[in-house]
Structure 1
Amino acid sequence: MPDAPPAPDGILLVDKPQGITSHTAVSRARRALGTRKVGHAGTLDPMATGLLILGVGPSTRLLTHMVGLDKTYTATIALGAATSTDDAEGDVTSTADASHLSGDDLAAPMARLTGDIEQVPSSVSAIKVDGERAYARVRAGEQVELRARPVTVARFEALAFRPGPLAEVDVVVDCSSGTYIRALARDLGAALGVGGHLTALRRTRIGPFDVEGAPIADALPEQGASALLLTPAEAASRILPVARLDDERAANLASGRRTVALEGEAGIVAAVHGDRLVGIARIDGRRMLPVTNFPTGAAAEAAR
């Protein structure tokens, strides 16, 4: 009887289309890869499109090190109406004629929303309030007021402006993890005195990972989907400095033991033996300490 193929292991980049949930995208990846062990490094709302990072098999352990990466979005903001959800899916709560606005009027308020700012998340965010998601409380009819949180918006720029009673502006945003683009749309509209909400959102980048070339999440091939995976070593080396291990250091780290750190190795590193990821490690002086282990393949052999 031929040997069973190895279980899939790696990082899958997919492009989520509009109208499906991130959970649906995960389910389709599970079906295409033939495994239940698929997780994500952050979701997108159903109305949003763009990059999802999925961890498959043992590489789900890498997701912890990816959730805090900075991100890039393109979006369209409607100026002249505020909504209950700060996006097009909510009820309109106020309107104002935005015909007097021009593209030049956007520069100052957008600049004030750039940099290290305090942002009040949308009330329909997934933030937990007394153990329950804020959006669930809002849907149950509760009034939810969330506290402002520090975020960093490195870039908030207008790409195109379309004037009118309900004006539209296309924007690009580079921001820290935890930034709500809906909240930027809301706050820009409020600063201009006309209200604003998000009508389109696309995530194009997470850290060093780009949506360009990523397969559409609902069109993953039934055969050969594993070939789309980034190997654990490749994915980890994109987000962390790499420490190259010899057999002895690999055996120690794969067994959960500390090992010697070499000169020049510092901070949190991807510990690699050959072409395999042994684990994520922390350098403490001359010691390398395991943070997250991947004792599989060649690394496991080295540990025996």
Structure 2
Amino acid sequence: MAKRKPSELNLLLAVDKPVGITSHDVVSRVRRALNERRVGHAGTLDPLASGVMIVGVGQATRLLGRITLERKRYLARIMFGCETTTDDAEGEPTRIADVSDDVLSPLFAKGVLREFVGEQEQVPPAYSAISVDGVRSYKRARAGEDVELPARTIEVYAADLVAVDEVDGRAVWTASFDVSKGTYIRSLARDIGRAAGSAAHVADLRRTASGPVTSGMCARIEDLSPEHAHAAALDPARVLGIPVRELTDDELAAVLNGRAIPCGSPRAAGEPFVPGDAASTYALVNDGRLRAIAAREGDYLRMETVFPQGIEGVVR
């Protein structure tokens, strides 16, 4: 078997996913735009949704499993009057309900949204990527199976009303949500409709932030090129949320050979020097590139993952 050619690009990117394509489509388009085979993504977005998607290129694909992105922010348009099979505008209506005049009241809308702030149990949509006995839930639902997913604990940190409108005679709330990882905005819309004494689904959804990565940091797929990718590379340590340990050239040689090094003094990702940090995982960097992820064992850092080419984008 031929040895894989080293990637010319090794970085994390934020891409603004357009409406109407899948997350896999995004990966395919990035591959073509950058002429790189090794491309993956962290955090799936539905075809109906747009917004922030983090993409790994080259050796940075090895970081994707480490990116937890515990909090995400969304802007959603919630349409009242019916629930759908998918809990969004792509599905078929499953329940039609009257919409009271109260639903057009901003004061009423704010009160309903306020009830959804906090930790709660949420039932995910049947049309989701959750595996049931090794098969994606949406595949079972499309095959006509009755899918009942167990509730999971999620947290809504903020649910703020942006606007109340009437579109084609139907009430629509625009709301922003700050939520924990694993929260389905489609399920929130469904449950918000019921709490308002009606029925509802997501008419439009945009992810505005994924962890520390915001929509303002995103590149448009149609603008991508290798040169643009270099300029737009995300700081991998900041995305991972782990402190940085700068390496001397001698330490770099040891790290690339997998040898442990003294802990030394780290700094917070993307921040000035911070002495005495006691984190368990560190980003080891040299010359603006991430060269390894290391675990602290006593006074030493032992290598977990080494990146021979280095992942660019580290902010000094």
Q: 8 Å contact 1:128–1:134 — kept in the other structure?
A: yes
Specify the alignment match of 2:268 in structure 1: none
Specify the alignment match of 2:201 in structure 1: 197
Pick from 259, 277, 285: which aligns with 1:272? 285
Across the aligned residues of Structure 1 and Structure 2, the Cα RMSD in angstroms comes to 2.4
Amino acid corresponding to residue 38 of structure 2 in structure 1: K
Specify the alignment match of 1:35 in structure 2: 36
Q: 8 Å contact 1:244–1:273 — kept in the other structure?
A: yes
How many residue pairs get aligned? The number is 293
Amino acid corresponding to residue 247 of structure 1 in structure 2: D
Q: 8 Å contact 1:255–1:295 — kept in the other structure?
A: no
Alignment map for 1:65-84 (pairs within 5 Å) = 65-84=66-85
Amino acid corresponding to residue 224 of structure 1 in structure 2: E
Amino acid corresponding to residue 243 of structure 2 in structure 1: P
User: SS state of the match for residue 209, structure 2?
Assistant: strand
Q: State the identity as a percent.
A: 42
Q: By how many angstroms is 1:113 displaced?
A: 1.6
Amino acid corresponding to residue 93 of structure 2 in structure 1: V
Task: Give the Cα separation in 1 of the matches to 2:41 and 2:220.
Answer: 15
Q: 8 Å contact 2:38–2:58 — kept in the other structure?
A: yes
Q: 8 Å contact 2:74–2:176 — kept in the other structure?
A: yes
1:110 maps to 2:113 = yes
What are the Cα deviations for residues 197-246 of structure 1, in whole angstroms up to 9, with x where unaligned?
A: 000000111111111252222x1345634434416xx3224532211222
Pick from 163, 168, 187: which aligns with 2:172? 168
Cα distance, 1:253–1:45 mapped onto 2, change above 3 Å: same
Cα distance, 1:167–1:290 mapped onto 2, change above 3 Å: same
Q: 8 Å contact 2:12–2:55 — kept in the other structure?
A: yes
User: SS state of the match for residue 105, structure 1?
Assistant: helix
Normalising by structure 1, we get a TM-score of 0.88
Specify the alignment match of 2:304 in structure 1: 291
Q: By how many angstroms is 1:5 displaced?
A: 10
Cα distance, 1:87–1:240 mapped onto 2, change above 3 Å: same
Task: Give the Cα separation in 1 of the matches to 2:106 and 2:194.
Answer: 16
Specify the alignment match of 1:249 in structure 2: 251
Q: By how many angstroms is 1:297 displaced?
A: 5.4
User: SS state of the match for residue 77, structure 1?
Assistant: strand
Alignment map for 1:103-252 (pairs within 5 Å) = 103-162=106-165, 166-217=170-221, 219-221=222-224, 224-230=227-233, 234-238=235-239, 239-252=241-254
Structure 2 unaligned residues grouped into runs of 5+: 266-275, 312-316
What are the Cα deviations for residues 2-50 of structure 1, in whole angstroms up to 9, with x where unaligned?
A: xx99711111211111111121111111011111100001121111111
